[in-house]
């Protein structure tokens, strides 16, 4: 799922969770200023919290920072492309969301222009230091930032001073700024019912504050209530204004006569602390747990490993640039650096006698995982040349001491590496060069893709993969993880099952993957090789 969509969902959940605290515990209190602060802070917090990712929960089988294809589900009858369906649904949802956002953005712009038009059309009159806009419509009195809008009847009202005092409180406390912020957030979260509840609650609090200020200034409570009742008729121009006759008359009367809440009631706002902690934990558990084969918004950068070992009979050092790897923010590192790693290989690797006699040479690709404690696990050959070279490569890698683990957001993480080791029979020793540091390049310009695209890939799999009879009879189902290399020419090599379920499913997955043909990835226009993990789901329906 796209990172922005996840962010929207998380912020929506935050808005709802924090609003429920207000609704159940704070709504009936008379701490209007504190409640206003709580609602505004909750909104800001709701858009900040989803940005925090504290990776505290990880699956033991997790291998992070690995190039992976989307999962393919294989049923007993046919192959279904879960990713194709998800993309279609995602695109549909995105279109609906963007359409709604555009509508509410246009609505917001229209409201701004509407108020600007009234100010320009009717002009501004100064009255007791206030900016008054005299309009000839039947709108009830309202304020917008430093402007107070009155109709002709309002100027004849004997209570004009009280009306102006009421609107001055809105202006002094900058209530219009709250409404502007809410309208902007409505454009982003228009689909979220809680954003509309926030708007209604904040508008109500604005009126409670204005009522409280006016009564504190000495106005008789009964006379003020009569004044409000006498102005219940009138139109509201739009949501960006504070209207004198807000349709909360009954609630406002209740709040005017309600006994002041006790000071210790403010402590209920501290409920936001455990709620915030709970939200962070929920987001961490649900959205940062990243198993092999699952899409992740934390897609890592590809690098070109310019420091690999080239092994002739006398174990020389050379540099080979071909394979690509994935890394976290801080890459795992051999203790002592790259030069120490090369020295270790030069000291320990031996050219197998069988390979030497048979004239076997070539490149062995070994995959392994650097654990969070720096140890090496899951050491496997993903493409070999035989004659003892594969076993020798694995043997030496198993001898390697612990590495300095990679890190993501300051925390150690598991990192998968593909290490190419080239065995060559060469009559002339190569010049020894000082190994270069690993050079990082940007994400590949064009990722490898199946020839013909996603639909063609699914059609190919649908026509070729079969649910094994043994697995069908024994009701075996689950996910098979296949690791392979997409070479520079797009061919598939080194196909291995790194986690299987048996029943013939592993063999079937390998058979079909070997038949596939990809367009290679490119960096700066140059084809590069990439290692992939392909998860294939076998499901009996």
Average pLDDT over residues 465-470: 88
- Helical ranges in 151-220 per DSSP H: 152-156, 160-172, 175-188, 193-216
User: Is pLDDT above 90 for 100?
Assistant: yes
* pLDDT level of residue 125 (50, 70, 90 thresholds): very high
Q: What is the 3-state secondary structure (H, E, C) of 324-344?
A: EEEECCECCECCCCHHHHHHH
User: Is pLDDT above 60 for 142?
Assistant: yes
**Which residues are CB-neighbours of 59 under 8 A, at least 6 positions away?**
289, 291
pLDDT, position 285: 52
pLDDT, position 2: 54
> Which of 54-68, 117-131, 360-374 has the highest average model confidence (pLDDT)?
117-131
pLDDT, position 364: 84
Q: Which of 364, 378, 444 is nearest to 417 (CA)?
A: 378
Q: What percent of the chain has pLDDT over 90?
A: 23
User: Is pLDDT above 50 for 425?
Assistant: yes
pLDDT, position 43: 92
pLDDT, position 302: 30
* pLDDT level of residue 235 (50, 70, 90 thresholds): low
pLDDT, position 245: 56
Which residue did the predictor score with more confidence, 64 or 35?
Answer: 35
Asked whether the beta carbons of 393 and 364 are under 8 A apart, the reply is yes
Q: Which of 393, 406, 379 is nearest to 308 (CA)?
A: 393
* pLDDT level of residue 326 (50, 70, 90 thresholds): very low
* Lowest model confidence (mean pLDDT) among 135-139, 184-188, 291-295, 519-523: 291-295
pLDDT, position 174: 94
- Helical ranges in 300-422 per DSSP H: 338-348, 353-358, 389-399
Q: Which of 130, 148, 169, 161 is nearest to 224 (CA)?
A: 161
Asked whether the beta carbons of 317 and 346 are under 8 A apart, the reply is yes
How is domain 449-539 classified at the CATH fold level?
A: 3.30.1150
Tell me yes or no: is domain 301-440 CATH 3.30.2420.10: yes
The DSSP element (H or E) to which 450 belongs, if any, is strand 449-450
> Which of 135-149, 189-203, 438-452 has the highest average model confidence (pLDDT)?
189-203
Sheet holding 142-144, edge to edge: 125-127, 130-135, 147-151, 142-144, 242-243
- Spell out a b/e string for 304-324, using b for 16 or more CB atoms within 10 Å of the CB, else e: bbebbbbbbbebbbbbeebbb
User: Is pLDDT above 50 for 487?
Assistant: yes
Residues 498-511 have pLDDT tens digits of 888 888 999 999 99
* pLDDT level of residue 281 (50, 70, 90 thresholds): confident
Strand partners, 532: 484
Can you give the C-alpha Rg of the chain in angstroms?
34
Q: What percent of the chain has pLDDT over 70?
A: 77
* Lowest model confidence (mean pLDDT) among 16-25, 140-149, 232-241, 406-415: 232-241
Q: Where in the chain is the domain with CATH 3.30.1150.10?
A: 449-539
DSSP at 262: P
How far is 201 from 209, CA to CA, in rounded Å?
Answer: 12
Provide φ and ψ at 388, rounded to 5°: 90, -10
Q: How many CB atoms lie within 10 A of CB 74?
A: 27
pLDDT, position 234: 63
User: Is pLDDT above 60 for 483?
Assistant: yes
* Lowest model confidence (mean pLDDT) among 72-86, 97-111, 217-231: 72-86
Residues 357-368 have pLDDT tens digits of 888 888 888 888
Strand partners, 537: 73, 479
CA angle, 202 then 208 then 214, to 5°: 140
How far is 448 from 535, CA to CA, in rounded Å?
Answer: 16
pLDDT, position 524: 66
* Lowest model confidence (mean pLDDT) among 212-226, 315-329, 453-467: 315-329
How far is 310 from 423, CA to CA, in rounded Å?
Answer: 6
From residue 251, give the alpha-carbon distance in Å to each of 246, 256, 393, 495.
10, 9, 78, 70
Average pLDDT over residues 237-259: 77
Q: Where in the chain is the domain with CATH 3.30.2420.10?
A: 301-440
CA angle, 171 then 173 then 179, to 5°: 80
Q: How many CB atoms lie within 10 A of CB 451?
A: 12
User: Is pLDDT above 70 for 74?
Assistant: no
Provide φ and ψ at 519, rounded to 5°: -85, 130
* pLDDT level of residue 121 (50, 70, 90 thresholds): very high
**Which residues are CB-neighbours of 316 under 8 A, at least 6 positions away?**
310, 346, 426, 429, 430, 432
* Lowest model confidence (mean pLDDT) among 198-212, 335-349, 376-390: 335-349
pLDDT, position 529: 78
Which residue did the predictor score with more confidence, 259 or 55?
Answer: 259
How far is 317 from 291, CA to CA, in rounded Å?
Answer: 36
């Amino acid at each position: 799922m796209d990172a922005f969509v996840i962010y929207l969902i998380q912020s929506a959940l935050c808005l709802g969770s924090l609003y429920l605290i207000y609704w159940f515990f704070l709504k009936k209190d008379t701490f209007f200023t504190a409640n206003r602060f709580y609602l505004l802070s909750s909104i800001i917090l709701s858009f900040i919290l989803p940005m925090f990712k504290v990776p505290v929960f990880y699956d033991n089988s997790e291998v992070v920072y690995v190039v992976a294809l989307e999962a393919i589900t294989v049923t007993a009858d046919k192959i279904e492309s879960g990713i194709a369906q998800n993309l279609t649904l995602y695109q549909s949802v995105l279109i609906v969301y963007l359409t709604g956002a555009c509508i509410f953005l246009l609505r917001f712009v229209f409201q701004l222009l509407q108020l600007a038009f009234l100010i320009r059309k009717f002009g501004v009159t100064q009255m007791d230091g206030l900016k008054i806009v005299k309009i000839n419509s039947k709108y009830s009195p309202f304020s917008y930032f430093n402007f107070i809008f009155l109709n002709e009847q309002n100027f004849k009202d004997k209570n004009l001073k009280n009306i102006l005092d009421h609107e001055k409180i809105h202006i002094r406390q900058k209530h219009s700024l709250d409404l502007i912020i809410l309208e902007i957030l409505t454009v982003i979260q228009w689909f979220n019912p809680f954003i509309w509840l926030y708007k209604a609650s904040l508008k109500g609090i604005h009126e409670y504050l204005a009522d409280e200020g006016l009564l504190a200034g000495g106005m008789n409570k009964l006379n003020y209530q009569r004044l409000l009742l006498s102005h219940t008729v009138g139109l509201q121009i739009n949501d960006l204004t504070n209207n004198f006759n807000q349709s909360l008359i009954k609630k406002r009367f209740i709040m005017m006569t309600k006994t002041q809440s006790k000071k210790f009631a403010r402590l209920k706002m501290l409920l936001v602390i455990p709620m915030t902690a709970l939200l962070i934990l929920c987001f961490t558990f649900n959205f940062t747990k990243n198993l092999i084969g699952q899409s992740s918004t934390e897609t890592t950068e590809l690098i070109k490993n310019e420091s690999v070992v080239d092994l002739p009979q006398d174990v020389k050092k050379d540099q080979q640039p071909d394979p690509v790897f994935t890394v976290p923010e801080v890459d795992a590192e051999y203790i002592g650096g790259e030069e120490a790693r090369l020295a270790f290989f030069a000291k320990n690797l031996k050219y197998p006698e069988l390979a030497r006699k048979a004239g076997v040479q070539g490149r062995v690709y070994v995959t392994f995982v650097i654990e969070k404690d720096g140890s090496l696990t899951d050491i496997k050959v993903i493409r070999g040349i035989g004659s003892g070279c594969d076993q020798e490569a694995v043997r030496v890698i198993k001898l390697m001491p612990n590495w300095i683990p990679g890190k993501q957001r300051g925390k150690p993480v598991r990192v998968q590496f593909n290490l190419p080791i080239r065995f060559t029979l060469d009559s002339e020793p190569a010049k020894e060069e000082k190994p270069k540091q690993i050079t990082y390049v940007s994400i590949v310009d064009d990722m490898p893709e199946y020839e013909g695209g996603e639909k063609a890939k699914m059609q190919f799999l649908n026509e070729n993969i079969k649910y094994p009879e043994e697995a069908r009879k024994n009701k075996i189902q689950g996910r098979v993880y296949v690791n392979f290399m997409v070479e520079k020419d797009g061919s598939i090599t080194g196909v291995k099952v790194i986690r299987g379920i048996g029943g013939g499913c592993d063999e079937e997955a390998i058979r079909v993957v070997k038949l596939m043909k990809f367009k290679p990835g490119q960096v700066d226009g140059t084809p590069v090789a990439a290692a992939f993990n392909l998860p294939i789901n076998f499901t009996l329906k």
